[in-house]
Amino acid sequence: MAALSDPKNQFMKKLMDFGKEKVKEMIPRGDTCNQYVVACIASEEELEERYSTIIEDAGKGSPETTDTYYFSKRLVVILNKHHWHGEARLLDPTGRLWETVTTEKDKKDDREPFEGRYFVGKMRENFPAEVWGTPKLVLFSHYIPCTIPRHQCARLIEEYVNTTGTEIILSYERSHGDTDEERAYAILSRNKEYITIILPWKQDQEAIVEQAESFLERMERGTKRDRKKHKKRKERETENTTESSQHRQRNRKRKRKRSK
Ligand SMILES: [Zn+2]
């Protein structure tokens, strides 16, 4: 497991604490809302050298604040809002990804319209030109991005990365009772080139990684089996259609004979 002294882990810890602090300010006292995401645009070189200043900068100046998000320069803290999870509010302002990752059955929901706030675009614009290295999205989510059918935040992140080519450094603290942690972890580890998961505070990380890997294998085996089944079905269908077209041809010939 990566040591807490690693600058990237230190940064993630600071990001998490910053998020917690802002959440307390956003939520009226007595209300409980655990889930929040904190995201920021930074390069790895920057995290290695001067990670603490990124967060200090975000605390200064004049941030945009509402009761569900805190936005400052290239950092944002977002709560869930109505039916929208923080991950979707951050990465999917038009609902395009959500359309892809949920099934028709799970779309039947009384959702409010999408808010159309492009947080990531704005954050990218505010990435300082003098900073060296490729800007990446550093994302901490209190709960592991979910596998709840009508949200599918883990799939949504995977789809976001696959379609935009954005590199993400991701971390989370807990797993919500409605989420299958191994499955979520497996989904998020399918694109290792673009998604790096770091869990500096998680004691059972090795166990999760192991379970997620076996889950991935099962998924892969399942897909292979599905492909085989699909192929067989297609073959059967082709046979059937050939048979029925031969049948039709024979019938036509018979009809022609009778009409003569
Ligand atoms: Zn979710």
pLDDT digits (tens, 9 = 90+) for 59-103: 887 899 998 999 999 999 999 988 889 999 999 998 999 999 998
pLDDT tens for each residue of 143-168: 999 999 999 999 999 999 999 999 99
Ligand 1 centroid distance, CA of 147 (Å): 7
| Ligand 1 geometric centre to CA of 57 (Å) | 29
Task: Compute the distance from residue 197 Cα to the ligand 1 centre, in Å.
Answer: 17
Radius of gyration from C-alpha coordinates of the chain: 24
> Strands, E, within 31-189: which ranges?
36-42, 64-65, 69-72, 75-79, 136-143, 168-174
Domain presence at residue 215: no
Q: Strand 136-143's sheet: what is its strand order?
A: 64-65, 69-72, 75-79, 36-42, 136-143, 168-174, 195-197
The answer as to whether 229 is a domain residue is no
Residue scoring higher pLDDT (201 or 252):
201
Can you tell me which residue has the tokens 């192991």?
210
User: Residue 233: inside a domain, yes or no?
Assistant: no
For the four alpha carbons of 29, 30, 34 and 35, in that order, the dihedral sign comes to negative
Between the CA of 188 and the centroid of ligand 1 the distance, in Å, is 13
DSSP SS3 for 145: coil
Is 161 in contact with 193 (CB distance < 8 Å)?
A: no
pLDDT tens string 185-218 = 999 999 999 999 999 887 788 888 888 888 888 8
Q: Is residue 248 part of a domain?
A: no
Opening angle at CA 91, ends 86 and 93, nearest 5: 90
- 165 occurs within a structural domain: yes
* Count of structural domains, the chain: 1
From the CA of 191, how far away is ligand 1's center (Å)?
Answer: 19
Q: What is the pLDDT of residue 171?
A: 96
Residue 1 maps to a domain: no
CA-to-CA separations, 103 to 87, 126, 148, 224, 254, in angstroms, rounded: 18, 36, 12, 21, 48
Quick one: which H or E segment has residue 197? strand 195-197
Q: Pairing relation of β-strands 69-72 and 64-65?
A: antiparallel
* Residue-range definition of the domain harbouring residue 64: 7-202
What protein residues have CB closer than 5 angstroms to ion ligand 1? 85, 146, 151, 153
241 falls within a domain: no
pTM (whole model) above 0.85: no
